[in-house]
A and B are shown apart, each in its own frame.
Chain A
Amino acid sequence: MSTPAILVDKVTVHYGEVLALENASLSLEPARICGLVGMNGSGKSTLFKAIMGMVKPDSGQVLINGQPPVKTRKEAGIGYVPQSEDVDWAFPLSVRDVVMMGRYGHLGFTRRPRKADRDAVHHALERVELGEYADRQIGQLSGGQKKRAFVARGIAQGATMMLLDEPFAGVDKRSEATITRLLRELAADGATILVSTHDLHALPQLCDEAVLLMRKVLMHGSPDVVLQPENLAMAFGLDVMNRG
């Protein structure tokens, strides 16, 4: 068996008294796209933070490519696409500035970009079809373009693993299709991609596999199986079936 790209092994996380993750285990092969499905408060964000090493598990461990997350971080291997609400869209940065931040892990003390870095940013922007918007202030993009800008940051970074937090929230259908195609291409190039979402209809086209999360991993399998109504009912409570 090959080394899993992401191995979450019996991870438990508390915030004070609140139990956020309980004995969660997950193993993800390289170059796969996995959808992380669960309600708000089901621990999706906490699982992301544990994988990035931002919260220390009370017990259990996380390994990325068989090594502790800190190693992969130092190699600039982890790309992160934040939730829209977590970004200050009025921040005075251009799209190009944001994508350049993907290169910082490769740069020296003052992070002064060289030609190779500017080229990497240029190619990343072309790849997500934002080349003509490079000099726009980031808040002046549409919902889908904003997401693509952050995906471009991960591409410029050369991330072998991408974590996307709700990439389809506030995104129109066309951008959704563009993002899906883009992520499939990245996976075909060998990137391992973990997508957290409560937007279920986009999952089958995007993901190779899906995980149901409710503080622990309830189920991990192909999207078709995981998204069966009776399984979703476990993760979301029964009313999701009525809402369709």
Chain B
Amino acid sequence: MDLLNILLEPLSYDFMVRALITTAIAAVVCAVLSCWLVLIGWSLMGDAVSHAVLPGVVLAYIVGAPFALGALVFALLAVTLIGVVRNTSRVKEDAAIGIVFTSLFALGLVLISVTPSQTDLNHIIFGNLLGVSTADLVQVVVLGVVAFGILVLKRRDLTLYAFDPTHAHAIGLSPRRLGALLLGLLALTSVVALQTVGVVLVVAMLIIPGATAYLLTDRFSRMLVIAPAISAACSVAGIYISYYLDTASGAMVVLAQGVVFAVVYLFSPRQGLIGTRLAKARRRRAVALAR
């Protein structure tokens, strides 16, 4: 079988086409958002929000409301609760995050267990890439485009917020509002990614691409290109691999991202563990030759 056939064969199945489109969109939106999350130090917050939206999604399913609405409500609830527990007790922030998101996640699991037609909802937890319906696809496209659009249009403000919220305040912007915007987008993006890799692995898509890009460049504007490019490539590669090896597709996507991160971590010429040493050795050799 030649390469072209390898690439084309899965596309003869509609469900594979839908899977590829959904994952690529989720991968790109998550990756763009991840650039800010890793720089602000909100990775754990990404983990928390992506888990905490579960009960919202289940409740939305039960009453027939849009998933995104339920997710948004519970994302805000989670963030508020984390803030309250942190500020009004001696419990530190990481513990507050851990308490709130696991409790909400558990609430989601309980709600799933008592809701008839469980099959749909269990897919939210582990993702069901190959079972994405056309309606799911439409939802992912709409939410993905909205989140992506806002992120790109407001990217300069968000970067300012991440880098220097005091200056943002000093020039008349509201750091609080920018932070809330980012959290809202985090909730929205979580819903997009739920469909593909599921609640448990969303956080990977929200952290790994940004962290990988951060090791590759000193320019935020380039991170915003590198992260989604890597993430999209990983998601497509992951799906093809899962097709041929018959493995879990969402997990394969995340695994691909993890492998790319490991390679970059080791071999990045700027920051990599081995890459920087190789570069130094090359320079030394060049100097020796020049003598």
Which A residues are closer than 8 A to B by beta carbons? 52-54, 70, 73-76, 78-80, 82, 86-88, 91-94, 97-98, 101-102, 104-105, 109-112, 137, 153, 157
Contact B163 A73 (CB under 8 A): no
Q: What are 18 A-to-B residue pairs whose CB atoms are below 8 Å?
A: A52-B166, A52-B169, A73-B169, A73-B171, A73-B172, A76-B171, A82-B166, A92-B214, A92-B219, A93-B159, A97-B221, A101-B164, A104-B157, A104-B168, A111-B160, A137-B219, A153-B167, A157-B171
> Smallest CB–CB gap between B154 and chain A, Å?
7
For B153, the closest partner residue in chain A by CB is: A110
* A92 proximity list for chain B (CB < 8 A): 39, 214, 217-220, 222-223
Contact B214 A82 (CB under 8 A): no
Does B173 touch A at the CB level, under 8 Å?
yes
* B160 proximity list for chain A (CB < 8 A): 101, 104, 111
Contact B169 A54 (CB under 8 A): yes
* B163 proximity list for chain A (CB < 8 A): 88, 91, 93, 98, 101
| Known A73-B171, A101-B160, A110-B154; contact A80-B166, beta-carbon cutoff 8 A | yes
**How far apart are the CA atoms of A52 and B154 in the complex, in Å?**
24
Interface SS majority for chain A: mixed
* B156 proximity list for chain A (CB < 8 A): 104, 110-112
> Smallest CB–CB gap between A107 and chain B, Å?
8
* B162 proximity list for chain A (CB < 8 A): 91
* A101 proximity list for chain B (CB < 8 A): 160, 163-164, 167
**How far apart are the CA atoms of A105 and B162 in the complex, in Å?**
16
Most buried by B among A86, A94, A109, A111: A111
For B167, the closest partner residue in chain A by CB is: A80
**How far apart are the CA atoms of A93 and B214 in the complex, in Å?**
11
* A82 proximity list for chain B (CB < 8 A): 164, 166-167
Contact B157 A111 (CB under 8 A): yes
Interface string of B144-164 (1 = CB under 8 A from A): 000000000111110110111
For B169, the closest partner residue in chain A by CB is: A54
> Smallest CB–CB gap between A16 and chain B, Å?
10
Contact A104 B218 (CB under 8 A): no
| Known A52-B166, A80-B166; contact A104-B173, beta-carbon cutoff 8 A | yes
For B157, the closest partner residue in chain A by CB is: A111
> Smallest CB–CB gap between A122 and chain B, Å?
18
> Smallest CB–CB gap between B247 and chain A, Å?
35
For A72, the closest partner residue in chain B by CB is: B172
> Smallest CB–CB gap between A90 and chain B, Å?
9
Does B170 touch A at the CB level, under 8 Å?
yes
**How far apart are the CA atoms of A109 and B169 in the complex, in Å?**
16
* Choice from B39, B167, B170, B173 contacting A91 with Cβ under 8 Å: B39
* Choice from B39, B171, B217 contacting A105 with Cβ under 8 Å: B171
> Smallest CB–CB gap between B11 and chain A, Å?
37
Contact B219 A94 (CB under 8 A): yes
**How far apart are the CA atoms of A29 and B42 in the complex, in Å?**
42
> Smallest CB–CB gap between A116 and chain B, Å?
17
* A153 proximity list for chain B (CB < 8 A): 167
* B169 proximity list for chain A (CB < 8 A): 52-54, 73
For A101, the closest partner residue in chain B by CB is: B160
Contact A80 B220 (CB under 8 A): no
| Known A93-B163, A111-B156; contact A104-B220, beta-carbon cutoff 8 A | no
**How far apart are the CA atoms of A104 and B160 in the complex, in Å?**
9
Question: Which residues of chain B (33-50) have a CB below 8 Å from chain A?
Answer: 39
| Known A52-B170, A73-B172, A76-B172; contact A87-B164, beta-carbon cutoff 8 A | yes
* Choice from A80, A88, A97, A110 contacting B170 with Cβ under 8 Å: A80
Contact A93 B219 (CB under 8 A): yes
Contact A73 B220 (CB under 8 A): no
**How far apart are the CA atoms of A87 and B165 in the complex, in Å?**
10
**How far apart are the CA atoms of A137 and B270 in the complex, in Å?**
12
Question: Which residues of chain B (184-228) have a CB below 8 Å from chain A?
Answer: 214, 217-223
* A53 proximity list for chain B (CB < 8 A): 169
Most buried by B among A74, A97, A109, A137: A97
> Smallest CB–CB gap between A201 and chain B, Å?
27
For A111, the closest partner residue in chain B by CB is: B156
For A112, the closest partner residue in chain B by CB is: B156
Beyond A80-B170, A97-B220: 10 further Cβ-contacts under 8 Å? A52-B169, A79-B170, A91-B220, A92-B217, A92-B219, A92-B222, A104-B171, A110-B155, A111-B160, A157-B171
